[in-house]
Amino acid sequence: MSAQTLKVIVTRQLPEPVETRMKELFDVELNTSDTPMTRAEIADALQRADVLVPTLGDKIDQALLAQAGDQLRLIANYGAGFDHIDVQTALQRGIMVSNTPGVLTDDTADMTMTMILAVTRRLREGNLMMQKGEWQGWSPTALMGRRIGGKRLGILGMGRIGQAVARRARAFGLQVHYHNRRRLHADTESALEATYWESFDQMLARVDILSIHVPHTPSTFHLLNARRLKLMKPDAVIINTARGEVIDENALTRMLRGGEIAGAGLDVYENGNDINPRLRGLDNVLLLPHMGSATVEGRLDMGEKVIINIKTFADGHRPPDQVVPAML
């Protein structure tokens, strides 16, 4: 099948240069309103498309895939994470799945460091004070945060993003500790000046800041549960720019409200945009609307990856970023 005759349906509005390029290459159906598709609309798209381009808000499960037309052969996800897609069922139905890894590493690592600084230095509280006109002038004891130099940063998940955070953290004088499914090569570990902990529990009890960089899988769901949260020091903070399901959000909220954890910076949430209302309004919590990849450059790079995956598929080859069973 030639690229020009390939029916591509995109579920959300993408950056204008990406959409323009898609219109040049494919028979593309765009979502110009940028309103999230309903389940029925996604089912209709699956029945008509050769290629579907979803985003992380589109849950494509077994029941939806059962309604897919025989012509659907590729789900080219606009994003690195793919836990919203039932990849196993897709593969069983002969549908390939691709994603956009690698292009968001630096953006997410930058956001992580921003959140570490914002939470430890209480920037949210200072900004709110200024916005409300409540500042009465400088005070020796007002809004005292914590110095991060010399503190222990624990990184859960030492993949591309975890390592990028480690490099930045060293520049700020943080001591880097990490837990990962597999220990890094000695040369990489030495270059990052990182200390490996085989036991996640033991690392948790000793770090001042925990930064999460693991995907959402059955094995990572609530990996940071109530028992593990209680292992952390009461003056520790948690940063999550990965997946909300990794943390038991209710347990975290209770401990933040009770002063058992000093603070948190969250860019992702256990139930998507349905955020625990008890998290809102807490002075010690920075809540962001999934902004980790929100740079012009990053979103354009994501679109370029999607286009390359589709074009390669149209040329009769496997997409370079195909999701394979070993990644699940």
What pLDDT, in 10s, does the model give residues 37-92?
A: 999 999 999 999 999 999 998 999 999 999 999 999 999 999 998 999 999 999 99
What pLDDT, in 10s, does the model give residues 127-174?
A: 999 999 999 999 999 999 999 999 999 999 999 999 999 999 999 999
pLDDT-derived band of residue 3, with 50, 70 and 90 as boundaries?
A: low
Is residue 226's pLDDT more than 90?
yes
Share of the chain above pLDDT 90, in %: 92
Give all domains of the chain, ordered by start, each with its CATH number.
3-103+295-327 (3.40.50.720), 105-287 (3.40.50.720)
Q: What one-character-per-residue DSSP string does 241-300 give?
A: -S-GGGB-HHHHHHHHHTTSS-EEEESS-TTTT---TTTTT-TTEEE-SS-TT-SHHHHH
The alpha carbon dihedral of 80, 85, 89, 94 has a sign of: negative
Distance CA 324, CA 72 (A): 18
Is residue 2's pLDDT more than 90?
no
What pLDDT, in 10s, does the model give residues 193-202?
A: 999 999 999 9
> In a 3-state reduction of DSSP, which class is residue 155?
strand
Is residue 311's pLDDT more than 60?
yes
- pLDDT at residue number 327: 61
Q: How far is CA 229 from CA 79, 85, 226, 276, 317, in A?
A: 29, 29, 5, 17, 46
- pLDDT at residue number 65: 97
Q: What one-character-per-residue DSSP string does 160-192 give?
A: HHHHHHHHHHHHTTPEEEEE-SSPPPHHHHHHH
pLDDT-derived band of residue 181, with 50, 70 and 90 as boundaries?
A: very high
Residue with tokens 């009461």: 234
Q: Which residue has the higher pLDDT, 328 or 175?
A: 175
Distance CA 4, CA 22 (A): 10
Across all residues in the chain, what is the average pLDDT?
95
pLDDT-derived band of residue 326, with 50, 70 and 90 as boundaries?
A: low
How many Å is the maximal CA-CA distance in the chain? 70
- pLDDT at residue number 1: 58
Tokens of 277: 């209302």
Distance CA 53, CA 216 (A): 21
Provide the whole-model pTM.
0.91
- pLDDT at residue number 5: 82
What pLDDT, in 10s, does the model give residues 253-299?
A: 999 999 999 999 999 999 988 899 999 889 999 999 999 989 999 99
**Average pLDDT, integer, range 296-314:** 97
- pLDDT at residue number 23: 96
